[in-house]
Structure 1
């Protein structure tokens, strides 16, 4: 296991233990790869991820944007992933129970006080992947 993946998993363990919403929505997430500034994860859609219409709830995609953007920052060696200053999500398609979602997060820039991230959530299909949501996230951080 590479050092970036170890760092991301260490930060995730700490956050998971202290965040009931992440523990609820992302309990079964698999963080399977990390590089400097990039994190890859996947999760299977469960009934508690759905809205009243039986499709992926928008709050889930917003939560993933927040969570995965923070872990992309952690992959750059930071133990603290900062606090949100701005988050934006575009909802492009949907998913339902049993679908597998691939999450790719990138730390586009990590400065002294701000970090800018982008996150894509796509549904695995027989033909490849269908983009479900794209998010951008800005976080206030403190670097040493």
Structure 2
């Protein structure tokens, strides 16, 4: 297991039990790869992830953007992943119960006070990956000493 994956898993293990929304929506997420600035995870869609039309709820995708952006920041060695200042999600397709989602998050820049991330949520199909949503997330991170 890489150092970055260990760091991300440590932050996730600490965060999950104190965040009821993460515990509810992301309890079964599997973080399977991390390198500095990039984290990959997967999750099978369950009924709790769906809206009244039985498709992936937009709030779920926004929550994943928030969570995964933080995990990408953690891959830089940070224990505290900051607080949201801006989050934007573009919905491109949908998923339903039983679909497998691939989540890739990237910390595009982690500065002394702000971190900028992008998150892609795709579903596995017979022909490959189909993008479901793409998010961008800016977080205020505590100034780090150099």
Shared fold (TM-score, shorter chain, > 0.5) = yes
**Match for residue 77 of structure 2?**
77
Q: Deviations over 1:50-108 (max 9, x none)?
A: 00000000000000000000000000000000000000000000000000000000000
Unaligned runs of 5+ in 1: none
Distance 1:92 1:66 in 2: 18
Q: Deviations over 1:13-64 (max 9, x none)?
A: 1110110000000010000000000000000000000000000000000000
Q: Is 2:102 the counterpart of 1:89? A: no
Distance 2:17 2:108 in 1: 27
Q: Is 2:121 the counterpart of 1:121? A: yes
Mapping of 1:49-60 within 5 angstroms?
A: 49-60=49-60
**Match for residue 26 of structure 1?**
26
Aligned residue for 2:138, secondary structure, equals strand
- Once the two structures are TM-superposed, the CA of residue 120 in structure 1 deviates from its matched residue by 0.1
Aligned residue for 1:9, secondary structure, equals helix
Unaligned runs of 5+ in 2: none
Moved over 2 A (4+): none
When the two structures are superposed, what TM-score results if normalisation uses the length of structure 1?
Answer: 0.99
How much is the aligned-residue C-alpha RMSD, in angstroms? 0.4
Distance 1:13 1:2 in 2: 16
Distance 1:63 1:55 in 2: 16
Aligned residue for 2:133, secondary structure, equals strand
The aligned length equals: 144
